[in-house]
Structure 1
């Protein structure tokens, strides 16, 4: 824990917060812990291990890249000392993560063997493997491997991002000469190759190379060997993306994606046992700080385990479920727009089908009264049913406008591709507002009624328009024909395409112009009620809480007696349970089968939660400076009594009651898992069981 001074938001005082990078690493440790939880099927536990590996890769490519560059910019000794302390915490937490991943993987390897599945990742694992099967597998990759001799006339080769390499000292028998050799493994090759053996066996490509090193380098004797994996920075400087012309912006992003291949080194992972001389050689030639070089005793590149989690073994996976189809689209002869004229709709992904969102657009394509469709797109995925539906609308003669965010990290290339596809289909494509990311999730459909009046129909979500993540992320979709919300969405879209800030919004709260102040006002309202002796409560669910201003205001609310329940899946910089400061705040993180992604904010408004009097909102925004100050986000009030009750009494209350998948944050920054003795309540299982009942 540290104290941060923030003169803008907490005048003349210090704010007690946890460092957000250390908090993020703590979150990833909770994800990793799921790989040891025997309540999950075996291959699902292996998937949690792969997720923890992929998360750490992204953290280093983005966060650690920034941290490295910030070190030189810190102006005074006190801040440099504080920064160094945090930097060292990040390094030590990373070492612990590597150690814990190895421990978990060893246990999973043993359990896989009991299920007659073997992963060959060490020399010992090669014992007993059919040599013919190994040779057959090697012959498939041999032509694609590039062996190098490293000496004065053979310089060290370029190593791509996330590239796996094999390095060894060998003795050349013919010349009686010691030589360093390297085999670069193309990223296009799979990390694991399934062998044609009597039992399911997958060998890691580095072990396959090791076993055939004498084939790659004949007449040699191996003296030392090992693998390494190299990560390059992926962050995009903000100033590099702030241009006014859309065509120039697209061209700039295409160049940036190419330049990303040459990013500076941010992590080097080495197999344990490599001689110090080889380690130092790699550190020097890959130009990476020694502290960003880590060792792994068992395996390098845990994100590659995604490849084997797809093994066909239904008993080793979660039981499949079919998301519930919405009656709005399954009932024959019902027009979805006429239905929305009568009632609003709220659905809970992944338990409710994302097909409802897709059919909302497809219905627009088929309805002759629909004239215009507008949508924001952030992360669509490689194969997008949403983009297909937008194209169908354009082909049906509708005016379709798509606002696609090119700055969605690691989705830039996919979004560029979809932008070109949509433009070629006659869709008008825009790229947002200069200097801001457009993160709001909105669809607007404008339809002419029988009297000729144009009516807006709106979808607002907490999650991306992505049918793949909608199967594993929990999110909220809200459909309405409310005129005020519709007019607000029209104003926001017009602002996004004209660069003129919308004014006089009636219902929606927009960032960066409104959201922060609205949240302050809602928290202040609870403070006023607490001081007046009225019930005062806040329930809030989000992915991250790091904003100093919001944290300060929550501390103020706690000190006034407001009861605050926070469900924060990832980073949380607020310190709960500190006497005299935050003793009325409880923070939990839910980690389980589904990734908790919805943002739901509930304020008691003078009554005990849950109640019809509460003010309830859904949002695309977490409580982070980037969401409140540097992104286009919306927060939407849910006023329909039935929908409000669903959010409060069903979704939020179930998450608050959850003990099976919950981790509680202590005032010392440590998370503790609920004890598993006795009967525990799982929100995920509850929602799935309810789904099964409705499906009968």
Structure 2
């Protein structure tokens, strides 16, 4: 595996370094032979898609800071130029490992299992004839070949579009005939990137679309000799900027920026490793890139398109076995869902519990004449969402209000369409508070119940209202009629639609108003309990942890003796296992079949435990720059389920868990004691079996945490004496370090 370059001289791990380590964990799933073969292909495609976004947002951001003249070090101690240097080295190493995985592992194993990705010369005559027919009828009409000369300047290559570059020479003699020219053809996005072909031997055969176009390129360039050809792709800066104070209409501003995004500066050129150096040089100069921004691929450009291989290959034996989630069942005497919610709160753990329970909540509200109004936030949803249709139907005879987040990154265009369609149906559409993304997951109903009382009912969640992603994202949903929680949700909607700030959103924690300070207070409270000899423990599960003030509070809690377990899927700035700093903190990441997306926060609180769930990670943007909602789990039985079933399963996992060492590296839990000698336990597999009635909570092994200090000694790479000296100096000056961190954004 490639090494992720680390600079361990500070108390925090750099955001981009930590992100690269996360994508490396995803790549490990592609390399893991215990996963079904096509699932491994899918994981490899995910790493490429992740890397695309990283390049167009994070690398682009560092380049932008350098261009703007920033030279001061960030919280990780790196100047923008140092950060770019490390990033470049890490990404180049990572790309090489991606293609080793494809060429040395996946491609041969696919071939041996009857799934063949073939070159033109490897096709038999019947397959070549069918491929040529497909090219002539479906591909050629969509192609626009260009030859670059004074009359034909370099075409505008759109972001991440796959193209072919051809080095040409005129066949006809004349002035300049010996000079080479560059031809460019854009591969149509409307066509499948992998073309399925018939096979006479029972295999599933494919050819890459660009290979098919390359073979027929001579027909597009008659009168030219093709000297060389290569596929390439350009990634552009996709940061979305606009001046909010000058925006008359947020929707129109985002629409304009979507158009302008296509004009972003190039930040990365991917091109086949076999490309002629002259082609590479001409492209690099045209896109104004340094050589370090050119990524030579030992295989097909754009591995994210391998997702088509996963979806288009009808081989269920090479995929995960289908899983049927547990359906929501009403209480024995409940007449309907609303009657049930008057008796109890309902906690759903998706995808182990079906998302149909949430969809049914909204659909029931739309169809029920007793429901007077519906309010809902939408951050991302699917194109065929039944929730969207239910809101449209409800608008015919109810008050329906929807807060649509237009700036959900890379979903802006679809969200603009949702907003227009909802408005056309009579829904009151708002776009939240200018300058704050609306990331909270709330639905609030007002119903005139059968007993004559008007009540509120709410859904609060950790994930988007997207039934499609709910099948493979883990998330928590709470359905409740609790008067305090639903009143808090009511006040949040007033904040979103009228910017009306309440003095108290209790029991909800709301950012940017109360969330950060409350989380810090809860961590400090555990610190005080530990100092007083009372039960003190924190278990926090989230997608990312970068906010300096939270890291500082956790370090202080660890020093007071609080036992802290952090389950962080992605980026984590915290260094566990540092002597005198974070010896009582363990950080783990679980990457498996389902994307871990739920946010759960457990505080022992001296024995009077509290558990929260919500939409927010411990990131600066979530705590201070978005509208987020974190909600308490008040029912003791539901708190026990979160603690003894869900969190306990994650902490006991010794198959898909990677533990973090203090230098930022991750390693499999089953490589160290006590996990190494423990029975094999995989949390997601267990939770599926539990949902199917094939397992019980008593099957979860007792959690025995390994020593973070031991982890660091055994698994961290040795540092040089100067690095150790610098690190110890920073540890001694922790308060000064965090004071500097407070003045910078991670």
Q: What TM bracket, shorter-length normalisation? A: over 0.9
Separation (CA, whole Å) in 1 of partners of 2:340 and 2:624: 37
| Corresponding residue of 2:32 | 37
| Corresponding residue of 2:205 | 201
Report the CA distance shift for 1:472/1:267 in structure 2 as closer, same or farther (over 3 A): same
Say if 1:243 and 1:249, in contact at 8 Å, map to a contact too.
no
| Corresponding residue of 1:94 | 91
Following superposition, the deviation at residue 220 of structure 1 comes to 4.5
| Corresponding residue of 1:54 | 49
Separation (CA, whole Å) in 2 of partners of 1:20 and 1:274: 34
| Corresponding residue of 1:269 | 270
Separation (CA, whole Å) in 2 of partners of 1:417 and 1:445: 24
Higher mean C-alpha deviation, range 407-416 or range 540-549: 407-416
| Corresponding residue of 2:580 | 580
Cα deviation code 1:181-236 (max 9, x no counterpart): 22222322321111233232111112112222222224544332211111122211
| 1:182-331 alignment, distance < 5 Å | 182-198=184-200, 199-218=203-222, 220-237=224-241, 239-241=242-244, 248-310=249-311, 311-328=313-330
| Corresponding residue of 1:445 | 445
Q: Give the SS at the match of 1:601.
A: strand
Report the CA distance shift for 1:75/1:164 in structure 2 as closer, same or farther (over 3 A): closer
| Corresponding residue of 2:348 | 347
Q: Give the SS at the match of 1:488.
A: helix
Separation (CA, whole Å) in 1 of partners of 2:247 and 2:371: 32
Higher mean C-alpha deviation, range 59-68 or range 581-590: 59-68
Report the CA distance shift for 1:142/1:517 in structure 2 as closer, same or farther (over 3 A): same
Higher mean C-alpha deviation, range 307-316 or range 668-677: 668-677
> 1:466 and 2:466 equivalent?
yes
Following superposition, the deviation at residue 603 of structure 1 comes to 0.7
1:144 pairs, out of 142, 145, 159, with: 142
| Corresponding residue of 1:12 | none
Report the CA distance shift for 1:135/1:486 in structure 2 as closer, same or farther (over 3 A): same
Separation (CA, whole Å) in 1 of partners of 2:579 and 2:125: 61
| 1:416-435 alignment, distance < 5 Å | 416-435=416-435
Q: Give the SS at the match of 1:588.
A: strand
| 1:486-501 alignment, distance < 5 Å | 486-501=486-501
Separation (CA, whole Å) in 2 of partners of 1:78 and 1:495: 37
Separation (CA, whole Å) in 2 of partners of 1:268 and 1:18: 28
Say if 2:271 and 2:295, in contact at 8 Å, map to a contact too.
yes
| 1:610-621 alignment, distance < 5 Å | 613-621=608-616
Following superposition, the deviation at residue 504 of structure 1 comes to 1.8
Following superposition, the deviation at residue 288 of structure 1 comes to 3.0
Report the CA distance shift for 1:184/1:76 in structure 2 as closer, same or farther (over 3 A): closer
Separation (CA, whole Å) in 2 of partners of 1:46 and 1:646: 35
Separation (CA, whole Å) in 2 of partners of 1:255 and 1:593: 38
Following superposition, the deviation at residue 651 of structure 1 comes to 0.3
> 1:131 and 2:128 equivalent?
yes
Following superposition, the deviation at residue 129 of structure 1 comes to 8.2
Following superposition, the deviation at residue 137 of structure 1 comes to 2.7
Separation (CA, whole Å) in 1 of partners of 2:634 and 2:167: 70
Cα deviation code 1:455-509 (max 9, x no counterpart): 1111100000000110000000001111011111111111211111122222111
Cα deviation code 1:373-403 (max 9, x no counterpart): 10011011222111111122223x1111101
| Corresponding residue of 2:589 | 589
| Corresponding residue of 2:170 | 172
| Corresponding residue of 2:713 | none
Say if 2:71 and 2:80, in contact at 8 Å, map to a contact too.
no
Report the CA distance shift for 1:87/1:127 in structure 2 as closer, same or farther (over 3 A): farther
Report the CA distance shift for 1:411/1:332 in structure 2 as closer, same or farther (over 3 A): farther
Report the CA distance shift for 1:262/1:189 in structure 2 as closer, same or farther (over 3 A): farther
Say if 2:55 and 2:268, in contact at 8 Å, map to a contact too.
yes
Following superposition, the deviation at residue 570 of structure 1 comes to 0.3
Normalised TM-score (structure 1):
0.93
Separation (CA, whole Å) in 2 of partners of 1:451 and 1:179: 81
Say if 1:324 and 1:695, in contact at 8 Å, map to a contact too.
no
Q: Which runs of 5+ in 2 are unaligned?
A: 1-5, 697-746
Q: Which runs of 5+ in 1 are unaligned?
A: 5-14, 608-612
1:28 pairs, out of 23, 28, 31, with: 23
Say if 1:137 and 1:195, in contact at 8 Å, map to a contact too.
no
Following superposition, the deviation at residue 105 of structure 1 comes to 0.9
Following superposition, the deviation at residue 444 of structure 1 comes to 0.5
Say if 1:537 and 1:604, in contact at 8 Å, map to a contact too.
yes
| 1:543-622 alignment, distance < 5 Å | 543-607=543-607, 613-622=608-617
Report the CA distance shift for 1:332/1:316 in structure 2 as closer, same or farther (over 3 A): farther
| Corresponding residue of 1:680 | 680
| Corresponding residue of 1:10 | none
Separation (CA, whole Å) in 1 of partners of 2:583 and 2:46: 34
Normalised TM-score (structure 2):
0.87
Following superposition, the deviation at residue 595 of structure 1 comes to 0.2
Q: Give the SS at the match of 2:255.
A: helix
Separation (CA, whole Å) in 2 of partners of 1:127 and 1:334: 64
Separation (CA, whole Å) in 1 of partners of 2:158 and 2:57: 16
Say if 2:62 and 2:83, in contact at 8 Å, map to a contact too.
no
Separation (CA, whole Å) in 2 of partners of 1:441 and 1:669: 32
> 1:157 and 2:155 equivalent?
yes
CA RMSD of aligned residues (A): 2.2
> 1:643 and 2:646 equivalent?
no
Say if 2:576 and 2:582, in contact at 8 Å, map to a contact too.
yes
| Corresponding residue of 1:7 | none
| Corresponding residue of 2:707 | none
| Corresponding residue of 1:660 | 655
1:671 pairs, out of 663, 666, 681, with: 666
Following superposition, the deviation at residue 78 of structure 1 comes to 6.2
Say if 1:618 and 1:636, in contact at 8 Å, map to a contact too.
yes
Following superposition, the deviation at residue 126 of structure 1 comes to 5.6
Q: Give the SS at the match of 2:243.
A: helix
| 1:49-88 alignment, distance < 5 Å | 49-76=44-71, 82-88=79-85
